[in-house]
């Protein structure tokens, strides 16, 4: 009659064997490659990679202020890290300030 630890070990080993078989059947397969022997001959085609070293951002944003105008001050530059709520630029607004002062004076 099997001992108590042996009765426990047999199902555990069976479960481990099943998990190993499951992993083996679903593991990533290697990428197939073709190997060619280098030889002297005529070059029939060339391939150029023009994007060497280029990196694209995960998230992009376009600026679209409610009012159009000229940029008076630019606080950040392309590639700078910014945080939510940070001012990126200030628009030229002397005409709006003058209109505000005029309205205040007439009130």
pLDDT digits (tens, 9 = 90+) for 65-105: 677 778 889 898 888 888 888 888 888 888 888 999 999 99
Flag whether the pTM goes above 0.85: no
Strand partners, 74: 89
* 26 lies in some domain: no
- Tokens at 50, concatenated: 């023009």
pLDDT digits (tens, 9 = 90+) for 17-73: 999 999 999 988 888 999 988 888 888 888 776 666 666 777 777 767 677 778 889
* 36 lies in some domain: no
Domain span holding position 99: 71-106
Q: Which stretches of the chain are DSSP H helices?
A: 4-26, 94-106
Quick one: what percent of the chain has pLDDT higher than 70? 90
Place of tokens 């950040």: 76
Structural domain count of the chain: 1
Q: What sign results for the dihedral spanned by CA atoms 14, 19, 23, 26?
A: positive
């Amino acid at each position: 009659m099997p001992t108590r630890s042996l009765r426990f070990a047999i199902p555990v080993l069976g479960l481990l064997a099943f998990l190993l078989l499951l992993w083996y059947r679903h593991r990533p397969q290697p990428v197939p490659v073709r190997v060619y022997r280098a030889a002297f001959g005529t070059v029939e085609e060339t391939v150029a990679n023009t994007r060497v070293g280029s990196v694209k951002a995960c998230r992009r944003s376009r600026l679209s202020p409610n009012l159009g105008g000229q940029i008076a001050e630019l606080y950040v530059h392309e590639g700078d890290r910014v945080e939510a709520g940070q001012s990126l630029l200030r628009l030229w607004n002397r005409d709006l300030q003058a209109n505000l002062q005029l309205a205040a004076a007439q009130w």
